[in-house]
């Protein structure tokens, strides 16, 4: 065993698969065995592996200027260009962009920006944040406190109370509905609970509500129709900001440019990006806020002499060059339109599994989906052991999927996937499920 402390890994089950190289939608282990990367790495390699044009853009920027920072008035053109391009793309009014290195640090940045902003406008008491059960928003101390998955909270003693973290219902109808409750009734009940939470805590103490438009690690939850419309109405009524975590759903993943568009989230106040922003070829994240929020922070920063937040690698020029080239390729090569077509095909193929006796639900949008396994369809008893066996058998059969939310199998392939490769995913997943049984 090596000296590595592995992330999100059972320390008694490390170094089981050594990935050696990648090409297109496939990766290969040290023995040369091929695997279709059905999870785009960690929901992130939109352009797949070995894109020569993207590699050349990174190499070119390394040769021109391998590093410079953005502290103290210094800047560089790739960072300026990327921020301007993102600001023109997002549904945030007069958007301003702060760069980081990961989705976790971008969400940490948002928490600090919220506090800075509300202090700047004379409302220092407005600092609590509403997250949801089964949420995933990162693993740093602050972002990890917004995460609600048990494994991410156990043993870490996250400072939930100190950070003012509140939790409301998850919007998973299949797992959260009461007996006989319709989707509309489910939405009405859980949004009423949200409003009751706000009234109980006091809207003047709550800064924002954070949500992934469609969740990832919690099981690819697609909220029912009407959910986000009601949530937005409640937040607007109580003067609470809507914070969209688009780390997984951004840049064509859900069948639209952003998950907000797919789920009819009209104009978020904050957005978080990472992963597909650079197709994971270089670490980069972006925390996006409304322009008026930024303007409110200008004078306070001048009084102090500096806006006292930033990372050494904020706006790393090579990362920015990678993201710029990624966005160029997405647009130029019609990757978004291709993802819509392949996403529709993936969803239709996976829908065939709904007839399987051990499949409780198939859900998703675009090129992100989950197949939830059960021991009994009527009782909806989670088939946790079966899901683990199927995940391993998929890997044995040359397909990488991810076991999430205990009994669900997540699928999230690169956006460049072909129809034949979609068939390969579904055929191998189905065969592995039957083999496990």
Structure tokens at 112: 């600090």
Please determine, for residue 132, whether its predicted confidence score (pLDDT) is greater than 90. yes
pTM for the full model? 0.97
Q: What is the pLDDT, as a whole number, of residue 15?
A: 96
Q: What is the pLDDT, as a whole number, of residue 75?
A: 98
pLDDT digits (tens, 9 = 90+) for 67-124: 999 999 999 999 999 999 999 999 999 999 999 999 999 999 999 999 999 999 999 9
Contacts of 30 (CB under 8 A, 6+ apart): 18, 20
Please determine, for residue 305, whether its predicted confidence score (pLDDT) is greater than 90. yes
Residue with tokens 């989906």: 369
| Helix (H), strand (E), coil (C) string for the chain | CCCCCCCCCCCCCCCCCCEEEEEECEEEECCCCEEEECCHHHHCCCCCECCHHHHHHHHHHHHHCCCCCCCCCCCCHHHHHHHHHHHHHCCCCCCEEEEECCHHHHHHHHHHHHHHHHHHCCCCCCCEEEEECCCCCCCCHHHHHHCCCHHHHCCCCCCHHHHCEEEECCCCHHHHCCCCCCHHHHHHHHHHHHHHHHHHHCHHHEEEEEECCCCCCCCCCCCCCCHHHHHHHHHHHCCCEEEEECCCCCCCCCCCCCHHHHCCCCCCCEEEECHHHCCCCCCCEEEEECHHHHHHHHHHHHHHCCCCCCCCCCCCHHHHHHHHHHHHHHHHCCHHHHHHHHHHHHHHHHHHHHHCCCEEEEEEECCEEEEEEEEECCCCEECHHHHHHHHHHHHHCCEECEEECCCEEEECCCCCCCHHHHHHHHHHHHHHHHHHC
Domains and CATH numbers, the chain: 19-50+334-436 (3.90.1150.10), 57-332 (3.40.640.10)
Closest Cα to residue 391, out of 326, 424, 423, 435? 435
pLDDT digits (tens, 9 = 90+) for 160-217: 999 999 999 999 999 999 999 999 999 999 999 999 999 999 999 999 999 999 999 9
Region 12-20: what's the mean pLDDT?
A: 96
Q: What is the pLDDT, as a whole number, of residue 20?
A: 98
pLDDT digits (tens, 9 = 90+) for 27-77: 999 999 999 999 999 999 999 999 999 999 999 999 999 999 999 999 999
Q: What is the pLDDT, as a whole number, of residue 11?
A: 95
Query: What does pLDDT average to over the chain?
Result: 98
Region 295-299: what's the mean pLDDT?
A: 98
Q: What is the pLDDT, as a whole number, of residue 1?
A: 84
pLDDT digits (tens, 9 = 90+) for 252-290: 999 999 999 999 999 999 999 999 999 999 999 999 999
Region 360-377: what's the mean pLDDT?
A: 98
pLDDT digits (tens, 9 = 90+) for 164-180: 999 999 999 999 999 99
């Amino acid at each position: 065993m090596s000296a590595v402390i592995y992330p999100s890994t059972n320390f008694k089950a490390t170094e089981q698969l050594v990935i050696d190289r990648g090409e297109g939608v496939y990766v290969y282990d040290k023995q040369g065995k091929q695997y279709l990367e059905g999870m785009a790495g960690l929901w992130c390699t939109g352009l797949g592996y070995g894109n020569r044009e993207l590699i050349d853009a990174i190499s070119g920027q390394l040769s021109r200027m391998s590093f410079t920072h953005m502290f103290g008035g210094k800047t560089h053109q790739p960072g300026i260009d990327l921020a301007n391009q993102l600001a023109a793309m997002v549904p945030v009014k007069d958007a301003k962009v702060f760069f980081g290195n990961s989705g976790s640090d971008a969400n940490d940045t948002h928490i600090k920006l919220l506090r800075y902003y509300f202090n700047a406008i004379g409302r220092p008491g407005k600092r609590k944040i509403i997250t949801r059960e089964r949420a995933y928003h990162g693993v740093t101390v602050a972002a990890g406190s917004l995460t609600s998955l048990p494994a991410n909270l156990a043993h870490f003693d996250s400072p939930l109370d100190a950070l003012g973290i509140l939790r409301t219902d998850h919007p998973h109808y299949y797992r959260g509905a009461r007996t006989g409750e319709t989707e509309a009734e489910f939405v009405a009940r859980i949004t009423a609970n949200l409003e009751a939470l706000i009234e109980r805590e006091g809207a003047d103490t709550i800064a924002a509500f954070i949500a992934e438009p469609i969740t990832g690690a919690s099981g690819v939850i697609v909220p029912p129709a009407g959910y986000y419309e009601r949530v937005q109405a409640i937040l607007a009524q109580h003067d609470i900001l809507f914070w969209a975590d688009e780390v997984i759903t951004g840049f064509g993943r859900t069948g639209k440019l952003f998950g907000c568009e797919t789920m009819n989230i009209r104009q978020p106040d904050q957005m978080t990006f990472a992963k597909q922003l650079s197709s994971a070829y270089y670490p980069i994240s972006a925390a996006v806020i409304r322009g008026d929020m930024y303007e409110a922070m200008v004078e306070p920063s001048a009084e102090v002499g500096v806006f006292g937040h930033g990372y050494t690698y904020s706006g790393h020029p090579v990362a920015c060059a990678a993201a710029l080239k990624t966005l160029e390729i997405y647009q130029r090569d019609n990757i978004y339109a291709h993802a819509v077509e392949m996403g529709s095909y993936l969803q239709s193929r996976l829908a065939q599994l709904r007839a399987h006796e051990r499949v409780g639900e198939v859900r998703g949008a675009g090129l992100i989906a989950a197949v939830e396994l059960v021991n009994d369809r009527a009782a909806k008893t989670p088939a946790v052991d079966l899901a683990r066996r199927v995940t391993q058998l998929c890997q044995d059969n040359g397909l990488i999927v991810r076991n999430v939310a205990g009994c669900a199998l997540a699928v999230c392939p690169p956006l460049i996937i072909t129809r034949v490769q979609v068939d390969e995913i579904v055929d191998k997943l189905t065969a592995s499920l039957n083999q496990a049984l």
